[in-house]
A = this chain, B = another copy of it.
Amino acid sequence: MNDRIREILSWYTSENPGVRTNLARMLNHGRLGGTGKMVILPVDQGFEHGPARSFAPNPAGYDPRYHFQLAIEAGCNAYAAPLGFLEAGVSDYAGEIPLILKCNNHDVLNDERDPISAITSGVEDALRLGCVAVGFTIYPGSSERTTMYEQLRELAAEARAAGLAVVVWSYPRGSGLSKEGETAIDVVTYAAQIAAQMGAHIIKVKLPSAKVELPEAQKVYQKYEIPISTLSERVSHVIQSAFDGRRIVIFSGGATAADEQVFNEVRAIRDGGGFGSIIGRNSFQRKKEDALKFLDTIMGIYEGSIQ
């Protein structure tokens, strides 16, 4: 194990060796293994957005085995999915890639203003499926957030005791926020801080805009002239907000976008000190050979072989 991975693990020394072992499994796996950077393939969109919106662009993705294959061939650090998708494929790929069980899920068949996900699996499932981590989404900004935080607390405590890492998707949403506010820099950094304070080992947030949502925050950002004009600066500020770089924070790719835009975002994450990307739709919604090439470029940027 190289020094960079040892350094990252040193931030988690209050955790038991099982948690650190599973963090190491992700950090040392795949093409970026050992770099301290991660690219994770998440496929929960079938549940979150419905099957056609998720898989019609590349119908191979209807098959649960496809995503295992894609993640393995691309050399991702891990593959994250809900119970059903993991169960339907894991038997064929046991031991080939670190798995993250996404333990809560949300659908859009009832469009509520203050969303909360349903708990759909747990630590026992993660252990019997051979996962390295559990994943959980919280929606800071929702009036239901207290319930979600408390669910996360229980899941995380159980996971930690079993040596599993905890990955938190921290996505501001709900009646407390404007639509633009969901990606405002003060809100995203706040979401990262909340996840870190709750004990998340890996934090997933969206790339922030330069908007500052909350009036009290606006005063501070102005007074202290916090640099947030470039994406790289904003990434750096997110990393700072998650324990000054001592927690792994990765960024979601969002909906399909032009490749070059994504690559530039990855450059900004890299340059801002981010730890990597979790890229779902942008990868599995194109043909596999295109996806492999696309992910190859991203990993190249992270490892520095591509500027």
Contacts and interface: CB of A to CB of B under 8 A. Distances in A.
Interface stretch (A141-149, A270-278, A286-294, A299-307): A141-149
Contacts of A114: 110
A112 interface: yes
Copy tally for this chain in the complex stands at: 5
B197 A105 contact: yes
Nearest to A172: B109
Contacts of A153: 118-122
A109 B217 contact: no
Contact of A143 (B28, B95, B110, B174): B110
A127 interface: yes
A62 B186 contact: no
A26 to B, nearest CB: 9
B145 A107 contact: yes
A259 interface: no
Contacts of A50: 186, 189-190, 193, 214, 217
Contacts of A118: 145-147, 149-150, 153
Contacts of A145: 107, 109-110, 118
A15 B190 contact: no
Interface in A47-75: 47, 49-53, 55-57, 59, 62-64
Given A20-B95, A95-B24, A197-B82, A124 B214 contact: no
Given A52-B220, A110-B174, 11 more contacts: A13-B92, A14-B129, A16-B130, A19-B130, A24-B95, A28-B95, A51-B240, A52-B217, A88-B196, A88-B247, A112-B143
Interface of A: 1, 5, 9, 11, 13-25, 27-28, 44, 46-47, 49-53, 55-57, 59, 62-64, 82-92, 94-96, 105, 107-112, 114, 116-122, 124-125, 127-131, 140-143, 145-147, 149-150, 153, 157, 161-163, 172, 174-177, 186-187, 189-194, 196-200, 214, 216-217, 220-221, 223-224, 226, 237, 240-241, 243-244, 246-247
10 contacts: A15-B87, A17-B94, A20-B94, A20-B130, A44-B197, A51-B240, A63-B244, A84-B243, A88-B246, A105-B149
